[in-house]
């Protein structure tokens, strides 16, 4: 996580928790017009709604207006994780043990940086994943990014599981002037907020 991600996360984590949400990820894309993605889920395990995303968007927007942690114009996008969600926190690797995942490390481990296989969990700060019938142990701090792989097993579990796993990806903010195919590709409901530099 870079300095901007850390600053935004530190700014909004507490207020989101006070509203009954958990921050999953903060990501600032490097496009012609950057997009600040705030990904969150409900702390009570219920499925996220568009109204939830809109509520978060209004609150986060006010915090960003007050603190102004990002220089220049950007678009704020608030979204829920979806089924094939990113894995960003230690508890994510425990909670989704048994499902297929893709993991990329910052530096090569055992001669490679990309791993795909069945997630086995996390213990002692090490994430275990079964790759081609071999168990690989990866330091959590060495992981650059990870996400679940959309499989028949994951879809079946989502249909039968608690509300939190069932939640489809959705995105919301305030007004939507610049929707593009990159946002709409996975059938998200989108409402973005363009923030101009002051």
Query: Looking at residue 196, what is its pLDDT?
Result: 54
Q: pLDDT tens for residues 48-95?
A: 899 999 999 999 999 999 988 888 888 999 999 989 999 999 999 999
Shared-domain flag, residues 98 and 154:
yes
CB burial of residue 96 (10 Å; 0-12, 13-18, 19+): buried
Q: At residue 128, does pLDDT exceed 80?
A: yes
CATH of the domain at 189: 3.30.300.70
Residue 96's Cβ-side half-sphere holds a number of Cα atoms within 13 Å equal to 31
Tokens of 87: 């894995």
Q: At residue 96, does pLDDT exceed 90?
A: yes
Shared-domain flag, residues 12 and 76:
yes
SS3 83: coil
* Predicted model pTM: 0.76
CATH of the domain at 141: 2.30.30.180
Shared-domain flag, residues 65 and 117:
no
Query: Looking at residue 174, what is its pLDDT?
Result: 36
Look up the domain containing 180 and give its range: 3-82+167-195
Query: Looking at residue 47, what is its pLDDT?
Result: 86
Shared-domain flag, residues 63 and 109:
no
Q: pLDDT tens for residues 7-53?
A: 999 999 999 999 999 999 999 988 788 999 999 999 998 888 999 99
Query: Looking at residue 72, what is its pLDDT?
Result: 84
Shared-domain flag, residues 104 and 123:
yes
What would you report as the CA-atom Rg of the chain, rounded to the nearest whole angstrom?
17
Shared-domain flag, residues 21 and 67:
yes
| C-alpha span between 14 and 32 (Å, rounded) | 31
């Amino acid at each position: 996580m870079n300095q901007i991600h850390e600053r935004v996360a530190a700014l909004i984590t507490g207020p989101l928790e006070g509203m009954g949400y958990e921050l999953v990820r903060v990501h600032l894309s490097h496009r012609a017009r950057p997009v600040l993605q705030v990904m969150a889920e409900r702390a009570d395990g219920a499925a996220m709604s568009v109204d939830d995303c809109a509520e978060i968007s209004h609150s986060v927007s006010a915090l960003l207006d007050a603190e102004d942690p990002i220089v220049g114009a950007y678009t704020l996008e608030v979204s829920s994780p979806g089924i094939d969600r990113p894995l960003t926190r230690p508890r994510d690797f425990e909670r989704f043990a048994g499902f297929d995942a893709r993991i990329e490390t910052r530096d090569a481990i055992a001669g490679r940086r990309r791993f795909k296989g069945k997630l086995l969990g996390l213990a002692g700060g090490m994430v275990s994943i079964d790759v081609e019938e071999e168990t690989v142990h990866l330091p959590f701090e060495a992981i650059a990014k990870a996400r679940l792989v959309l499989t028949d097993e994951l879809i079946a579990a989502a249909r039968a599981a608690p509300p939190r796993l069932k939640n489809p990806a959705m995105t919301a903010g305030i007004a939507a002037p610049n929707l593009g195919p990159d946002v709409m590709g996975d059938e998200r409901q989108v409402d973005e907020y363009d923030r101009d530099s002051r």
